[in-house]
Amino acid sequence: MSATSRSKAATRERVESWTGKSVPRKEDGRLVQGEGSFIDDLGMHGQGYAWFVRSPYAHARIVSVDPSAALALEGVYAVLTGEEAREMCVVPFFQIAPGDGARIEEWPLAVDKVRYQGDAVAVVLADSRDTARDAAELVEVEYEPLAVVVDGVEAVEHAAPVLHEKAGTNVAWHGVYDYGDIDFALEHADHVIKIDRLHFHRFSSTPLECNGAVVDWDKGSGVIDVKSNIQMPMFAAMVIGPSLGVAMNKFSFSSRDIGGAFGNKIAFYPQIAALALLSKKAGRPAKWTEYRTEHMLSSTHGNERTFLDIEVPVMADGTILGVKARAVDDVGAYLHYEPLGAVIWSQVLTGCYKFKNVKIDFTTALTNKCPVAPNRGYSRMQQLWMLERVIDIVAHELDFDPVALRKLNFVQPEDYPYQTPNGCVYDSGNLPLSLDMALELADVDTWRRRQSEMGTGTGKRIGIGIGSTLDSGTNNFGQARIVNPDLPFSGNGEAAFAKLDLYGEVNINLGTTPQGQSHETTSAQVAADILNMSPNDVTVTIGFDQSHNSFVGFSGTYASQFAVTGLGAVMGATAKLRDEILEVGAFALGAPKDDLELRDGACLVKGDPSRSIPFIGIANLIYTNNAVLPSELSSKIDLNCRYVYVPPFEVPDVERKMGNLTLTYASQIHVCVVEVDEETGVVEILSYVAVDDCGKRINPQIVEGQVHGAVGLGIGAALYEAFEYDEDGQLQEPSFYEYHAGTAMDIPDIRTGNIESPSPFTPNGAKGMGEGGGAAVHTICSALQDALGKDGAVVFDSHNPWERVYQLLQSSQGDEPRGVRVISREGGAA
């Protein structure tokens, strides 16, 4: 393999520090040659193929499920219905929600009722995928359709059909986040901007690889072997374990390469539970590879959030005093990972800004739509988008320069570490400098000139947009208690092993589930620096494996944290290993430990390279030649070093909803220039710049790759991608025919810039940065707002396909209600 041959050459390269270099990815040799091991590549002996029978109705009573015709088909092994699954379960799935939400009953398959189009009522196992599909068509399900609710606000504020009778309400969670004194600020501000409604739409990251699993419930051992591409396996085990009536040590979750996940692959545990039961019933492993339309209908969508009655107090100089709003989060038909979204947004309560008074009345609403689950920028990008819309609308309505207004209200470089009104601590950064860098890279002065030169009658308009956003990383899971005080969660962590193997090989092993974040490469870089050797000689075992890896309950890959938690664990474990190697070396070389150093896979006496012992010699002494060692050494050292990185967190104050909810805050400042065709609403991106500050970069090229991905997702969401339901709850975009995910043809060249403000709170100065805070969504909306010009319409939705842009342009010309009012007190300059 070429990567290997390259590695031999690179071994001789001497580098001051591997950390911070764009080391070529160790993963690439395997992945670009089609030699990755993805879920559909895996199988088990004697496996059958599963196909789910899914509801065509958004809300209906299940009158009967008759599998007899399916079972009569040759090659069909078994059919599992919802009712049978319930009988095989001990209790419904564990719910995070307290109160009414806790009474929601979810089983592996729908029982009595279906609650969204795509809800699974049965699952078939057969000798081939095609037979299973044919058989699924033969399962006769009789439905009695019920009234449907597809709008979150309607679901909770009007007489709407209730999805879960046992909960008795569509309100899955409600709470008020109240800091400072927003009413005082509203009374005393020079201006109050009132915005009736802002809507953050539903979309997803649509990973290239859909969900999949091979599940075997082994009769002899009682172990449920789950090979899958789920990205937070222990969370799945926690939710479904009690339901299936099995202990944690009866699960064996494992994963290999994952073809994109973005949070979307956290929550397909109902499917895994159903496959486990199906396997138990059929007495053979069940393999399921999700179809694209199945993925779009019934996997996961991102949170859709409506902000109502937004009020913003602003002083005459542009100082923003706070924000008051109601937020209704539409999470679909079941609570998958929800209602954690009801607190996670508050990690970025005030975004990049310094205001102190905030009151958000937050409701999690159930609707007859696909359940949501984390999606890159989970729950925070909705809040950040709202705040960026607020900033631009304030600038637009009160005639402030959007750049100056941002700079005035930004958290300033000297404020760090900065504590937000709800007790979060922004670790480091330089937002004004990042903004200046972005404006300069985009050559905004030239574009502003062109914008003003572009007279009316050309049919074109230029818009310049700014998106200032934060990527909060490394969750304090204690925030779950703000949602439900009874949850025994807090803190975070990740575990790693560093070992020296029998022939002196260095091996790093950890329980994360990388999906493109290059854990093999970056783990090898930081370990190589500690052991003073080439990263090419460090083997990193990737993929979660419950029976082999070391892990903690939070292990996985999500929420922008690997650079801190994962690498923190790798660094800790490798430092322990280094110490053990030196201790054995001291014995072998007859020199004090302090006089030794490690270099290129050997331990040697400083200044006397003739006195050295290679790693294979060290390993030999511990593994196969231990009688030569004094017992105090052989009993103490095993060259297998485990370390759990634990970030410094405290349990939040649940009553006041206060606490340090995340450890790091990377920032992204994006600037873009768009050209809008007035006749059609078509938007062309003329220039796009992303400036990232994620502290110390472990591998700049990998950071850049993550930035590109986040920009692509955001542009797609802002202009093309939406999951919309009609009034009957039918998804309008169930395939890539209707759902246009942005492609290379749509995404412009991206100019990137970087500032490094190292985090004082992390072991390596790095901050998590993969999610990107939805910056591109904010930026495109901001540019559209700018293009609409003074007295123009307000960009009220995060999704702006050509038709909506066209409508905004049309409504600019009239004086119909714009959904925004400015109330100015006497003496305040308007």
Partner 1 sequence: MLLKSVNYVRPESVTEALDILSSNEGAAPLAGGQSLTNVLKHRVASVDLLVDISALSELRAITRAGDGSLEVGACVTYDEIDHSPDVRAGHVILAREASHIEDQQIRNRGTIGGNCCLSDPTNNLPPLLVALDATMNIRAVGGTRHVAAEDFFKGYFLTALEPGELLVSITIPPIPVGGGAGYVSLSVATDSKTIVRAAARVRVDGVIEEVRVVLARVASVPIRHHAMEEALRGVAPTAELVRAAAELIGSDVEPISDGHGSSEYRREMARVVARRAVLAAIEEGGRK
Q: Which residues bind partner 1 (CB under 8 A)?
A: 128-131, 133-134, 679-680, 682, 719-720, 724, 732-733, 737-738, 740, 742-743, 745-746, 801-803, 806
In the complex with partner 1, which residue's Cβ is closer, 187 or 803? 803
Q: Running DSSP on this structure, what letter comes out for residue 92?
A: P
Q: How far is the CB of 738 from partner 1 (least distance, A)?
A: 5
Q: How far is the CB of 733 from partner 1 (least distance, A)?
A: 6
Q: How far is the CB of 802 from partner 1 (least distance, A)?
A: 7
In the complex with partner 1, which residue's Cβ is closer, 415 or 679? 679
In the complex with partner 1, which residue's Cβ is closer, 64 or 128? 128
Residue 126's H or E segment, with its range, is strand 120-126
The answer to whether the CB of 77 falls within 8 A of the CB of 126 is yes
What whole-number distance in Å separates Cα of residue 760 and Cα of residue 681? 46
Q: Running DSSP on this structure, what letter comes out for residue 443?
A: T
| DSSP secondary structure of 495-534 | EEEEEE-TTS-EEEEE----SSS-HHHHHHHHHHHHHTS-
What whole-number distance in Å separates Cα of residue 136 and Cα of residue 668? 47
Q: How far is the CB of 743 from partner 1 (least distance, A)?
A: 8
What whole-number distance in Å separates Cα of residue 507 and Cα of residue 505? 6
Q: How far is the CB of 729 from partner 1 (least distance, A)?
A: 15
In the complex with partner 1, which residue's Cβ is closer, 28 or 677? 677
Sheet holding 640-645, edge to edge: 538-541, 506-510, 494-500, 640-645
In the complex with partner 1, which residue's Cβ is closer, 596 or 777? 777
| Ramachandran class of 767: left when φ > 0, alpha when ψ lies in -120 to 50, beta otherwise | beta
In the complex with partner 1, which residue's Cβ is closer, 415 or 803? 803
Q: How far is the CB of 172 from partner 1 (least distance, A)?
A: 28
In the complex with partner 1, which residue's Cβ is closer, 302 or 421? 302
Q: How far is the CB of 72 from partner 1 (least distance, A)?
A: 17
In the complex with partner 1, which residue's Cβ is closer, 337 or 723? 723
In the complex with partner 1, which residue's Cβ is closer, 130 or 445? 130
In the complex with partner 1, which residue's Cβ is closer, 43 or 459? 459
The answer to whether the CB of 364 falls within 8 A of the CB of 155 is no
Q: How far is the CB of 681 from partner 1 (least distance, A)?
A: 8
Integer CA distances (angstroms), 447 to 135, 146, 389, 443, 787, in order: 60, 54, 22, 7, 12
Collapsed DSSP state (helix, strand, coil) of residue 752: strand
Nearest to 267 by CA among 408, 128, 130, 106: 106
Q: How far is the CB of 66 from partner 1 (least distance, A)?
A: 21
The answer to whether the CB of 515 falls within 8 A of the CB of 258 is yes
In DSSP terms, which residues pair with 361 in a beta bridge? 176, 326
In the complex with partner 1, which residue's Cβ is closer, 49 or 107? 49
Q: Can you say how many angstroms the Cα of residue 166 is from the centroid of all Cα atoms in its chain? A: 31
| Ramachandran class of 140: left when φ > 0, alpha when ψ lies in -120 to 50, beta otherwise | beta
What whole-number distance in Å separates Cα of residue 540 and Cα of residue 517? 14
What whole-number distance in Å separates Cα of residue 544 and Cα of residue 230? 10
What whole-number distance in Å separates Cα of residue 534 and Cα of residue 18? 8
What whole-number distance in Å separates Cα of residue 163 and Cα of residue 115? 7
Q: How far is the CB of 143 from partner 1 (least distance, A)?
A: 21
In the complex with partner 1, which residue's Cβ is closer, 455 or 630? 455
Q: How far is the CB of 218 from partner 1 (least distance, A)?
A: 31
Q: How far is the CB of 740 from partner 1 (least distance, A)?
A: 5
What whole-number distance in Å separates Cα of residue 668 and Cα of residue 703? 12
Q: What's phi and psi for 671, nearest 5 deg?
A: -135, 135
What whole-number distance in Å separates Cα of residue 110 and Cα of residue 92? 11
In the complex with partner 1, which residue's Cβ is closer, 9 or 745? 745
Q: How far is the CB of 219 from partner 1 (least distance, A)?
A: 31
